[in-house]
Amino acid sequence: MGDYAEHARDNFANKGPATNVGKGKKKEVVFGIEEANALNAVNYPVKDDPQVPTVASAVTASDKTNAAVTQGRGLDVGTANLVSSFQDSTGNVNLKIQRNAFIDIDCDDYTRNMLTRLGVQYVVVNNRMVVVGDPAFELANIFNRNTRRPMKDGMISPEETDALPIERMLLETLLGKPKHQGENCYFSVPAEPIDADMNVVYHQGVFGGLLKGLGYDPKPLVEGHAVVFSELAEDDFTGIGISCGGGMFNVCVSYKSIPALSFSTTRGGDWIDRNVAHVLGISSSRACGLKEKGIDLANPQGREEEAVEIYYRNLISYTLKNIKERFESSSSMPSFPEPVSLVCAGGTSMIGGFTEVFQQEFEKIQFPLEVKEIRLAEDPLYSVSKGCLVAALSESV
């Protein structure tokens, strides 16, 4: 099975699932929206965020007592993860994350008892048990299977028949019901891809409809633009934001918060996983596990890590060449008076050595803009959601 399968098995046996899904005996439930609260997402520790309060500074002290109720939510709709955010009454940013994946298992007594003993909550869909989030990912590695993914290449998957009900359940888990009908919820959408014949209209409409069904007022925000809002406040929201996601890389060039150029490419972390899995003869879930277990792209060890490094480098080079070509062919690019920052965010950027490899590939091309720094977002996995929250707060003040 390999090292990562053993790592997942040991973690599952000794610690239980990665998500805290409750303790004690769980009753079998029939799939429905009312069961969503039983499948808890992981709470990210509450922390002060200097970017969000600066946008919300016009809120008075009396208004802040209801800040979490009236000022809206941010939602990162990612291929690999879903992340929600809101500001509480003290001004702190609260984040919650859920892996955007599930696995279905035969509905028999042995498996039901095993999941109950480990404290893994499940729902029943078409007479099969469905486990979502991090427990699904760990089970997939134990059984050397691939998780099922509601999204593919950055958009709702046309091949996954259970995508919509699963996504609705996950959104209910992350967001809960709004405190009042029509609460703002800015959600991320990919920019139009330049290397595939598809558009985001259906995807945007589907998630807008799901959020509206939960009682929110959905408002789309291009993913790369969300990175600008989250990470470039000190630069007057001017620079280049890149969201390195599981399904896509999203790029936004912004001048004083106004997007001058936005596009996406349909290669991301999943593209790396598929190719590494193919050359190594393993499942895509295990290839993803190899990345998350810990690899330094600047110093890969062994055949498996070298395969990951090769495809990462190719993906970064591919993205940079596309950015350069789009810049050079665009007639709407502003003239930046000073060098700009380039910030990378997203789960695919979190691997060790990412910025070093990015810098190496950047130096190989003649970039059309003067860049003063290439850096990683402070919290790469939560950057897009926080950027969506900044947009929601800026509208409410």
Token output for 228:
């600008």
Q: What is the largest CA-CA distance in the chain?
A: 67
Token output for 193:
């891809």
- Residue 87 has φ and ψ, to the nearest 5°, of -105, 130
Neighbours of 64 (CB within 10 A): 17
SS3 category, 373: strand
Token output for 379:
């919290």
- Digit-coded pLDDT (tens) for 301-312: 999 999 999 999
Region 305-323 average pLDDT: 94
Determine, yes or no, domain membership for 122. Answer: no
Strand order in the sheet with 128-132: 102-106, 128-132, 123-125
Is the pLDDT assigned to residue 182 strictly greater than 50?
A: yes
Determine, yes or no, domain membership for 112. Answer: no
Report the chain's C-alpha Rg in angstroms. 21
What do you get for the CA distance between the two ends of the chain, in Å? 54
Separation between Cα atoms, residue 77 and residue 166, nearest integer Å: 13
Whether the CB-CB separation of 343 and 253 falls below 8 Å is answered with no
Token output for 385:
């959601």
Beta bridge partners of 376: 344
Nearest to 69 by CA among 87, 51, 83, 57: 87
Of all residues in the chain, what percent carry a pLDDT higher than 70? 82
Determine, yes or no, domain membership for 14. Answer: no
Whether the CB-CB separation of 51 and 363 falls below 8 Å is answered with no
What's the pLDDT at 396?
65
Query: Which residues neighbour 393 within 8 Å (Cβ) at sequence distance 6 or greater?
Result: 52, 55, 56, 71, 72, 87
Is the pLDDT assigned to residue 124 strictly greater than 90?
A: no
Nearest to 287 by CA among 25, 16, 30, 3: 3
Helix (H) or strand (E) holding 380: none
CATH number for position 161: 3.30.420.40
Is the pLDDT assigned to residue 131 strictly greater than 80?
A: yes
Going by the DSSP 8-state scheme, the letter that residue 381 receives in this structure is G
Q: Which residues in the chain belong to E strands, given as ranges?
A: 42-47, 73-77, 81-87, 93-99, 102-106, 123-125, 128-132, 151-152, 155-156, 183-189, 216-222, 239-244, 249-255, 258-265, 340-345, 371-376
Separation between Cα atoms, residue 390 and residue 328, nearest integer Å: 31
Is the pLDDT assigned to residue 148 strictly greater than 60?
A: yes
Token output for 49:
């965020």
- Tell me the pLDDT band of 4, cut-offs 50, 70 and 90: very low
Determine, yes or no, domain membership for 315. Answer: yes
Is the pLDDT assigned to residue 313 strictly greater than 90?
A: yes
- Tell me the pLDDT band of 397, cut-offs 50, 70 and 90: low
- Residue 31 has φ and ψ, to the nearest 5°, of -60, 135
Determine, yes or no, domain membership for 174. Answer: yes
Residue written as token pair 């099969």: 128
What's the pLDDT at 307?
95
What's the pLDDT at 314?
97
111 or 75, higher pLDDT: 75
Total of domains in the chain: 1
- Residue 261 has φ and ψ, to the nearest 5°, of -155, 130
- Digit-coded pLDDT (tens) for 225-280: 999 999 999 999 999 999 999 889 999 999 999 998 999 999 999 999 999 999 99
- Digit-coded pLDDT (tens) for 48-95: 444 443 333 222 223 333 444 446 899 999 988 899 999 888 888 999
Is the pLDDT assigned to residue 136 strictly greater than 90?
A: no
370: left (phi over 0), alpha (psi -120 to 50) or beta: beta
Of all residues in the chain, what percent carry a pLDDT higher than 90? 45
SS3 category, 95: strand
Mean pLDDT over each residue of the chain, to the nearest integer: 80
SS3 category, 55: helix
- Residue range of the domain that includes 46: 31-100+149-396
362 or 55, higher pLDDT: 362
Determine, yes or no, domain membership for 139. Answer: no
Determine, yes or no, domain membership for 155. Answer: yes
Determine, yes or no, domain membership for 1. Answer: no
Whether the CB-CB separation of 185 and 75 falls below 8 Å is answered with yes
Nearest to 9 by CA among 192, 161, 141: 141
Region 328-354 average pLDDT: 90
Q: Would you say the pTM of this structure is higher than 0.85?
A: no
Is the pLDDT assigned to residue 13 strictly greater than 70?
A: no
Separation between Cα atoms, residue 22 and residue 25, nearest integer Å: 9
